[in-house]
Structure 1
Amino acid sequence: MPDTPSSLSPAGDRHFDGLADKFADSLYGAARGELRLALLDRLLPEMLDLDGQPVLDVGGGLGQLAAWFAARGHPVTLAEPSGEMLERARARLAGQPVSLLQAPLQALPECAPGPWRLIACHAVLEWLADPRSALATLAGLLAPGGQLSLMVFNRDALRMSNVVKGNLEKALADRLEGTGKRRRLTPISPLTHGQVEAWAAESGLAISAVAGIRVFHDYLRQPPSSAADRARLLALERRYCRVDPHWRLGRYLLYTLEASPTHPQEPLP
């Protein structure tokens, strides 16, 4: 099926109306999606202080993360700009303690101001035209001492993946971003660890934990073909996902960012 245009939002962000099926099949319907969820199941309890507190799930998409938190006793507010994605989440989350809110991240200071002790924002900033300002917005929603579980698409991993595939000219030119105007799901704003470090600091957030999601899987010449090999790969991913230097080449980087218990975030210059 040929690519067809897919418009950006007025703010220049990539939303997923008209692409929910492709999103579900590409990101969660394959082994890589199963691996991502299995790693999060292990890492989130290690990296977050979880005591049943309310959670704001920003850009919650199809509802997988909201379902994870709800199953562990957290009331969840899932905010998602795409009406199509939100309807899929509604079906998945029926009967669970999850409230649904159709809103982009930029509207959350008015729609869901909190303050929140726990915010989850997974695989969202890379689809925004201005991820730096978005992180500052999230910081402003946190309660003093609150935690932000942030997962971003790793630009350095995207470069490595292109090199492994033989796309040397593209890697040399650093042409790594997607355009957001077609059906391909290459993020428009993949981020580096250095950017997250700098933007977190200027927003008054401290990095308390970091991990790589899929530090090996995406570089394999062939995916595991048996259940035994998939189990071995998962064991490797779990063993090295928080070990330097391996975490730095995870397809996604997972952070716990913490707000100061006494000081508000600094505004952007």
Structure 2
Amino acid sequence: MTTPASPFSAHGDRHFDGLADKFAASLYGGARGELRLALLDRLLPEMLALEGQPVLDVGGGLGQLAAWFAGRGHPVTLAEPSAEMLARAREALQETSGECEVTFLPVPLQALPEQAPGPWSLIACHAVLEWLGDPRGALATLAGLLAPGGQLSLMVFNRDALRFSNVIKGNLEKALADRLEGKGLRRRLTPISPLTHAQVMAWCDALGLEVRAVAGVRVFHDYLRQPPERDDERDRLLELEWRYCRAEPHWRLGRYLLYTLVRPDASPFPAEEPL
């Protein structure tokens, strides 16, 4: 009997080969995926200083974020360890990237210091750390790739929002026990390392990264009893999300937390401390 391939890499990271269709349907299909992309379309130009600089898109998945940057004149290097996801991204970007150069790297985040050392003035890493066995170490790797003054657009799956969602669904014992992580088994897509805002802040402080901006992505949608079905309802929800995505206390319960992190010009990158 053939032993099924492990869904985890040697680093303890969740693999997505064989899951491209489910990934596309669950995370980008339907209203919640459209809302996520619509909010990013508004947030990124306000949260980042965009000057057509080269972008390293880490864990670029199906290529939506790479297409967004390429469509705005940025040369993009898309790094993605899943061969299936990378092939989908390559196919999609051939149709949408226009004249802008897109380079594809079939490598995990841990290989980037050798494969794409930079230094980079702009790195995007969206919805990746929560699928890694060592998200703190991954953030340290990303920080080390930044040029002085470089920006990191980081989006992570919010552990506090996951707890709140479980309570709403009636999973009280699970919430009390803080058993919120996914196990990475079968075809389920609950992240194995959801993060809190406090964790991100502590890690940034230790790594010498400045937090320039923060927002919550989908602060209302995922808690609705009945998602909007009509176009006018979806439009009103988008405006509500946009109005409160950076307002206290609402942004803190966004399904995702979006950060702009900067490596200061004058501060040398600190040596990584032992975990």
TM band (smaller chain): over 0.9
Q: Matched residue of 2:94: which SS?
A: coil
Query: Equivalent residue for 2:201?
Result: 197
Q: Name the CA shift for 1:123/1:194 in 2 (closer, same or farther; >3 Å).
A: same
Query: Equivalent residue for 1:236?
Result: 240
Aligned-pair CA distance for 1:268: 2.4
**Distance in structure 2 (CA, Å) of the matches to 1:35 and 1:233:** 9
Does residue 44 (structure 1) correspond to residue 44 (structure 2)? The answer is yes
Query: After TM superposition, which residue ranges in structure 1, 4 or more long, deviate above 4 angstroms?
Result: none
Give aligned pairs, total: 266
Unaligned runs of 5+ in 2: none
Residue of 121, 124, 131 corresponding to 1:127: 131
**Distance in structure 2 (CA, Å) of the matches to 1:82 and 1:17:** 5
Query: Equivalent residue for 1:220?
Result: 224
Query: Equivalent residue for 2:60?
Result: 60
Aligned-pair CA distance for 1:262: 2.1
Aligned-pair CA distance for 1:7: 1.8
Query: Equivalent residue for 2:23?
Result: 23
Q: Matched residue of 1:120: which SS?
A: strand
Q: What letter corresponds to residue 236 of structure 1 in structure 2?
A: L
Aligned-pair CA distance for 1:6: 5.3
**C-alpha contact 2:166 2:174 (8 A) present in aligned 1:** yes
Query: Equivalent residue for 2:34?
Result: 34
Equivalent residues in 2 for 1:32-111, closer than 5 Å: 32-94=32-94, 96=97, 97-111=101-115
Q: What letter corresponds to residue 19 of structure 2 in structure 1?
A: L
What TM-score, normalized to structure 2? 0.95
Alignment deviations for residues 77-101 of structure 1 (CA, whole Å, 9 cap, x no partner): 0000000000000000116321100
**C-alpha contact 2:7 2:16 (8 A) present in aligned 1:** no
**C-alpha contact 1:48 1:147 (8 A) present in aligned 2:** yes
Aligned-pair CA distance for 1:182: 1.9
Q: Mean Cα displacement is larger for which, 177-186 or 247-256?
A: 177-186
Aligned-pair CA distance for 1:129: 0.4
**Distance in structure 1 (CA, Å) of the matches to 2:268 and 2:116:** 18
**C-alpha contact 1:159 1:176 (8 A) present in aligned 2:** yes
Unaligned runs of 5+ in 1: none
Q: What letter corresponds to residue 88 of structure 1 in structure 2?
A: R
**Distance in structure 1 (CA, Å) of the matches to 2:245 and 2:7:** 35
What is the RMSD computed on CA atoms of the aligned residues? 1.1
**Distance in structure 1 (CA, Å) of the matches to 2:269 and 2:187:** 37
Q: Matched residue of 2:194: which SS?
A: coil
Does residue 173 (structure 1) correspond to residue 177 (structure 2)? The answer is yes
Aligned-pair CA distance for 1:201: 1.2
Does residue 160 (structure 1) correspond to residue 164 (structure 2)? The answer is yes
Q: What letter corresponds to residue 22 of structure 1 in structure 2?
A: K
**Distance in structure 1 (CA, Å) of the matches to 2:246 and 2:210:** 17
Q: Mean Cα displacement is larger for which, 41-50 or 176-185?
A: 176-185
Q: Percent identity?
A: 77
Alignment deviations for residues 156-198 of structure 1 (CA, whole Å, 9 cap, x no partner): 0000000000100100000000011221000000000000001
Q: Matched residue of 1:201: which SS?
A: helix
Q: Matched residue of 2:121: which SS?
A: strand
**C-alpha contact 1:5 1:182 (8 A) present in aligned 2:** no
**Distance in structure 1 (CA, Å) of the matches to 2:209 and 2:185:** 33
**Distance in structure 2 (CA, Å) of the matches to 1:57 and 1:175:** 31
Does residue 146 (structure 1) correspond to residue 154 (structure 2)? The answer is no
Aligned-pair CA distance for 1:267: 2.3
Q: What letter corresponds to residue 182 of structure 2 in structure 1?
A: G
**C-alpha contact 1:8 1:181 (8 A) present in aligned 2:** no
Residue of 242, 256, 262 corresponding to 1:258: 262
**C-alpha contact 1:150 1:255 (8 A) present in aligned 2:** yes
**Distance in structure 2 (CA, Å) of the matches to 1:14 and 1:45:** 30
Alignment deviations for residues 225-268 of structure 1 (CA, whole Å, 9 cap, x no partner): 21111000000000000001000000000000000102222222
**C-alpha contact 1:202 1:265 (8 A) present in aligned 2:** no
Query: Equivalent residue for 1:10?
Result: 10
Query: Equivalent residue for 1:207?
Result: 211
Alignment deviations for residues 4-41 of structure 1 (CA, whole Å, 9 cap, x no partner): 98521111100200100100011111210000000000
Query: Equivalent residue for 2:121?
Result: 117
